[in-house]
Amino acid sequence: MIFTPEKYRLADAPMKPFIDSDEIWDFIHSAKTNKAYVREVIAKAVDKKRLTLAETATLVATDDPELIEEIKAGARLLKEKVYGNRIVLFAPLYVGSLCTNDCQYCGFRTSNKLAKRTTLSKPKLIEEVEALQDNGQKRLILVFGEHPKYDAEYIAEAARTVYSVKKGNGEIRRVNINASPLDIDGFKTVSDAGIGTYQVFQETYHKQTYKDYHHGGQKADYDYRLTSLDRAQEAGLDDVGIGALFGLYDWRFEVLSLVRHANHLEACYGVGPHTISFPRLQEAADINIKKDYLVSDEEFTRLIAILRLAVPYTGLILTARENAAVRKELMRFGVSQIDGGTKIELGAYAKKESIQDLNKEQFKINDDRALSEVIEELLNEDYLPSFCTACYRLGRTGEHFMEFSVPGFIKRFCSPNAILTLAEYLEDYAPVKIFDKGWQMIEKNLTELEGQANVKEIRNRLERIKLGERDLYF
Ligand code: SAM
Ligand code: SF4
């Protein structure tokens, strides 16, 4: 069931800016934070009901340590209820670091003259994809700076190239994009290339802060950026990802604005964002940032838990910007997707050795473990790693489909597909030490699915995978 508060359905218009800073702050300052009410809001969320902006403001404004613990516990419970123990894995693939914008927090910014910029040639791109396939990756996000060279056709061609690479049993089955916002025709062009999600992060929803940090180029236009994903929807690209760069402005304001953005897309297009990302500001070459709003680990956990409760059906992505220990902790509070085996220096996947060099990278990453190590930890922590790409390939996206609106969908489709894709990984790429662990996890999950999914058919397909068949999904 899509949540569209009457107020936004009436007030919001497609492709028109929708953030009013005063309104966002009013919600926070006037939020009711008495214990009984906060608990009521948490209970509503745990019951899988989408929260209003005022209710989200209540969670954001709550400072009582006891209630904060209850918010976190609620998020954990809700995550288990909605997503079960699956974690979807992907990897970023940086394609080009040319950039005409001047975002003060980013190593690729045009005024960073120390940056060693590169664009992967087609053969290099193919080499990278082969290396990623050799690690077992099935889902990538292609990342680009903003530059006239990386126009819609260029991005579409890169996606087509990635899809065309098949090494051994390897293939990339879903290509997502994080690149500059496009116009409607541009979004049509990339959509035709069969991309999955198109991500555009607003970075900060606070207009003055946005102005302070974005000094030049197209990205300096706040409203153009804010309405980017409206244009994607107008182009028929209904699978979009929003995000804010935490550390630029008050996290409370950004959380509420992300929810406001989700409300806007739901009000205008009947479908919310597929994912929300919450990159936290990291060290990068030659950047120029104020430290006033840096987000502590404690606040970061809180904000992820609040997002989980506020938008129970939106995927939450946590990246390797965060270190392994922080990721392990944060994952419990509602994250549904993480990257693994991440390298962000251009061309690094195909290199034997790579040492982080900030002059070649957008920012510093803090979790550079191999995909197999990330998977091993997931298995140790009782998560079910998934490389599933079934829904978007079967056209189950956007307003026509929400996996959560179909009763039992997760048990009948998501969990079986997670099991099948994990089995492929184990057969083709897993180091010996996680092979057995992985199959034990599959057995455990099959037992739990008994009576709720067609376990006989899953077992049948697992046998087919063992015999060499690939890409079997429900
Ligand atoms: N150039 C495109 C754009 O700006 O939309 C692509 C995005 S950029 C390559 C990916 C994201 O990285 C940005 O949207 C921003 O949120 C994030 N980012 C930039 N600098 C960062 C930093 N120093 N630490 C953490 N994340 C950063
Ligand atoms: Fe360019 Fe994107 Fe970095 Fe801004 S965040 S400088 S647009 S790569």
Report which bound ligand comes closest to the CA of 182: 1
Structure token pair of residue 387: 């490389």
pLDDT value, residue 393:
87
Q: Is the pLDDT of residue 24 over 80?
A: yes
- Cα 226–chain centre separation: 18
pLDDT value, residue 408:
74
Single-letter code of the amino acid located at 96:
G
Report which bound ligand comes closest to the CA of 366: 1
Mutate to test the pocket of ligand 2, among 106, 212, 282, 287 (most ligand atoms within 8 A of CB): 106
Whole-number Å distance, alpha carbon 106 to ligand 1 midpoint, is 6
Is the minimum distance from the CB of 284 to ligand 1 under 6 angstroms?
yes
Is the minimum distance from the CB of 430 to ligand 1 under 6 angstroms?
no
Is the minimum distance from the CB of 313 to ligand 1 under 6 angstroms?
no
User: Rounded to two decimals, what is the model's pTM?
Assistant: 0.96
1 vs 33, higher pLDDT? 33
Indicate the pLDDT class of residue 364, thresholds 50, 70 and 90.
Answer: confident
Q: Is the pLDDT of residue 98 over 90?
A: yes
Beta carbons of 139 and 90 less than 8 angstroms apart: yes
Which sequence spans correspond to the domains of the chain? 5-80, 84-369, 404-466
Structure confidence by residue, pLDDT tens digits, 272-318:
999 999 999 999 988 889 999 999 999 999 999 999 999 988 999 99
Whole-number Å distance, alpha carbon 140 to ligand 1 midpoint, is 16
Indicate the pLDDT class of residue 411, thresholds 50, 70 and 90.
Answer: confident
- Compute the mean pLDDT over every residue in the chain, rounded to the nearest whole number: 94
Task: Using the atom order of ligand 2, give the atom closest to the CA of residue 100.
Answer: 1
Q: Kind of pairing, strands 315-318 and 275-277?
A: parallel
Structure confidence by residue, pLDDT tens digits, 106-133:
999 999 998 899 999 999 999 999 999 9
Structure confidence by residue, pLDDT tens digits, 312-346:
889 999 999 999 999 999 999 989 999 999 999 99
pLDDT value, residue 82:
83
Q: What number of other Cβ atoms are within 10 A of residue 440's Cβ?
A: 11
Mutate to test the pocket of ligand 1, among 93, 102, 106, 359 (most ligand atoms within 8 A of CB): 106
Indicate the pLDDT class of residue 197, thresholds 50, 70 and 90.
Answer: very high
Structure confidence by residue, pLDDT tens digits, 174-192:
999 999 999 999 999 999 9
185: Cβ–Cβ under 8 A, 6 or more apart, which residues? 152, 235
Q: Is the pLDDT of residue 400 over 80?
A: no
Percent over 90 (pLDDT), the chain? 84
Report which bound ligand comes closest to the CA of 97: 2
Give residues (CB < 6 A) around ligand 2. Answer: 99, 101, 103, 106, 108-109, 145-146, 219
Across 278-393, where does the E strand assignment appear?
315-318, 337-339, 384-386
User: How long is the chain?
Assistant: 474
How many angstroms separate the CA atoms of 303 and 321, rounded?
16
Q: Kind of pairing, strands 384-386 and 86-96?
A: parallel
Q: Report which of 303, 273, 408, 376 is spatially closest to residue 3, judged by C-alpha positions.
A: 273
Whole-number Å distance, alpha carbon 297 to ligand 1 midpoint, is 20
Is the minimum distance from the CB of 143 to ligand 1 under 6 angstroms?
yes
Report which bound ligand comes closest to the CA of 244: 1
Which of 6-15, 60-69, 261-270 shows the lowest per-residue confidence on average (mean pLDDT)?
Answer: 6-15
Phi, psi of 241, rounded to the nearest 5 degrees? -125, 135
Q: Is the pLDDT of residue 44 over 80?
A: yes
pLDDT value, residue 1:
42
Q: Indicate which residue's Cα is closest to atom 8 of ligand 2.
A: 145
pLDDT value, residue 352:
76
Rg (CA), the chain: 21
Q: Domain spanning 84-369 has what CATH number? A: 3.20.20.70
Structure confidence by residue, pLDDT tens digits, 61-94:
999 999 999 999 999 999 988 888 999 999 999 9
Q: Is the torsion defined by CA of 198, 204, 206, 211 positive or negative? A: negative
Q: Indicate which residue's Cα is closest to atom 2 of ligand 2.
A: 145
Task: Using the atom order of ligand 2, give the atom closest to the CA of residue 144.
Answer: 8
Whole-number Å distance, alpha carbon 245 to ligand 1 midpoint, is 8
pLDDT value, residue 7:
76
Phi, psi of 473, rounded to the nearest 5 degrees? -145, 165
Q: Report which of 145, 142, 139 is spatially closest to residue 88, judged by C-alpha positions.
A: 139
